[in-house]
Amino acid sequence: MEKVWDNSLSTLVNSNPQAFLDLMLPGAVCLQQHRTKLSGTQRQPDAVLEVKRYGETFIFNPEFQSSQDTGMAERLLLYHMLLCSQHKPLLVRSCVLALLKRAKVDPSPLLWTQPGEPPGRKKERIRFSYEVIELWKIHHEALVGLGHEALYPLLPLTKGGATRKIVEVMFDRLPAEQYREFALIGFTFAAIMFLTLKRDSDLKWLERKFRHMHDIIRESPVYDWILTEGIAKEKAQGIAQARQAVVDFVQEHFPALAQFAEEVVATIDNLAQLVRLTGNLGGAQSVEQAHQILLDARQ
């Protein structure tokens, strides 16, 4: 799944790096975009932009995060130092754009202390500061107001953006004939959000919308990798989590039925049905009632 996020953001940033500067570093002007692979390593930052802001030219390294990464701060520090060495004498500014609420990033700064000191007398040796921008806290109107097509696919990830109305706005501003890749990426992000929020009716609406757009956007070069590696995996993950939620609930409240619950949920591939099953089991007042609910779900 990470490859889908990486490929999608790479497509958007490469198309218009200035758009992402307007979002993440207002007032900065993109002078050039550098190769992301770092010399002498296999490391590849998400973006390396040479920018100018308030009369100062420097390297801006935005990283995009869709899931929790406990080593994110250390990775930023590594990229920071490698970029400093590669682009000397330019200074480097590091930033994380957290795309989803689940993408928890440790707050800045990263602090390292000197080893080999007595307890309670640790001395600070490294303090590395970076910025964290949480996209899911940015209102969708702010994103629309920037007026960049390259940012519109991110609308479903913004505050209040995971709705049919805003997704329609996104598609209206990204006519598929002209912005095939952008429209497909936006569709994928909307599908991921609807799956995450367990909004099955919205997901079905989106699938109908997709069928209407299908003949146009399937010509996009990103069509195959988004469908095969993105939505299918995210949907499978959502179903697996919903199945486990049913089993965990039964294990806690009706442990004698836990094995039977595992057998039942293994036959259900519909996310909405699994969510309803969890709700129905929540109303069961006895083992007998819970058993009957599971029996009905299996039919």
Stretch 104-119: mean pLDDT? 87
Strand duo 92-98 + 56-65: pairing = parallel
pLDDT of residue 215: 54
DSSP-based three-state secondary structure for 53? strand
If one compares 1 and 248, the residue with the highest pLDDT of the two is: 248
The Cα–Cα gap between 189 and 107 comes to 25
The Cα–Cα gap between 107 and 284 comes to 43
Q: Is the pLDDT of residue 228 over 60?
A: no
Stretch 37-52: mean pLDDT? 87
- Sign of the C-alpha dihedral computed for residues 173, 178, 182 and 186 taken in this order: positive
Q: Is the pLDDT of residue 223 over 60?
A: no
DSSP-based three-state secondary structure for 16? coil
If one compares 184 and 72, the residue with the highest pLDDT of the two is: 72
Q: How many Cβ atoms from other residues are within 10 Å of residue 92's Cβ?
A: 20
pLDDT of residue 55: 96
